Amino acid sequence: MKCQHCEKPATFHITELTEPSGPQVMHLCEEHARHYLSKEQSTPTSLVADHLEKQLKLGQTAEELAELDQQECPVCGITFYEFRNAGRLGCPYDYTVFQKDLEPLLINIHASREHKGKRPTRLAPSADRQAELIQLRREMEEAIEKENYERASEIRDRIRSLESGQSDTSSDL
């Protein structure tokens, strides 16, 4: 989508709900959004405009953004540009690859870097437990390759206890 005032791509989509005739939608490029948001406004949207203006000042320059857009995940191949357009990442490793640029976004949206919401009440295995099982299986394979069968059997027993639902939290393996 293009800016309403020029031919540049619209990166800001502002919807004002102050008109009695219905919402007013504006599609603006970064330059015109700065100009629009920097105007003194006596409407209720001035607080929102001030907030967006602060974000624009903290934002990246076009050169930095172009360089960032070229970053690519080595696992799934998604670029940061594709993420910005689709709004979805391609694989879990993307959080590691784009961590520096995703953290401010997550903090801005959720006011935290960690999820603090509810978990499903169904008895689905937790992500932490599954990650631990994967790690233990790798350790067991390494122990077998090194012919350390005693260690491999300890790890096997730990895996079995986790899979059977016993929450033996002894992590001295």
Q: Give the pLDDT confidence score for residue 121 in this predicted structure.
A: 62
pLDDT at 25 over 60: yes
Dist. CA 115–CA 5, nearest whole Å: 39
Has residue 115 been placed in a domain?
Answer: no
Same domain for 30 and 80?
A: no
Has residue 116 been placed in a domain?
Answer: no
Q: Could you tell me how many residues make up the chain? A: 173
Q: In this predicted model, which residue has the larger pLDDT, 43 or 145?
A: 145
pLDDT at 45 over 80: no
Same domain for 51 and 104?
A: yes
Dist. CA 32–CA 131, nearest whole Å: 47
Same domain for 52 and 77?
A: yes
For 88-142, the pLDDT digits (tens) are 888 888 888 888 888 877 777 777 777 677 766 665 556 677 778 888 999 999 9
Has residue 120 been placed in a domain?
Answer: no
Same domain for 92 and 138?
A: no
Same domain for 92 and 71?
A: yes
Q: Give the pLDDT confidence score for residue 149 in this predicted structure.
A: 94
- Residue 16, φ and ψ in degrees, nearest 5: -100, 130
Has residue 88 been placed in a domain?
Answer: yes
Domain that holds residue 146: 127-164
Has residue 98 been placed in a domain?
Answer: yes
Tally of structural domains, the chain: 3
Q: How far is CA 91 from CA 12, 16, 33, 83, in A?
A: 27, 35, 32, 11
pLDDT at 168 over 60: no
pLDDT at 143 over 90: yes
- Residue 153, φ and ψ in degrees, nearest 5: -70, -35
Has residue 2 been placed in a domain?
Answer: yes
Same domain for 55 and 33?
A: no
For 54-86, the pLDDT digits (tens) are 554 445 566 676 777 788 888 888 888 888 778
Same domain for 60 and 101?
A: yes
pLDDT at 148 over 90: yes
- Residue 26, φ and ψ in degrees, nearest 5: -125, 140
Same domain for 20 and 78?
A: no
- The answer, as to whether pTM is greater than 0.75, is no
CA atoms within a 13 Å half-sphere pointing along the CA-CB vector of 35: 7
Nearest to 81 by CA among 70, 94, 92: 70
The secondary element (H helix, E strand) that includes residue 16 is: strand 12-16
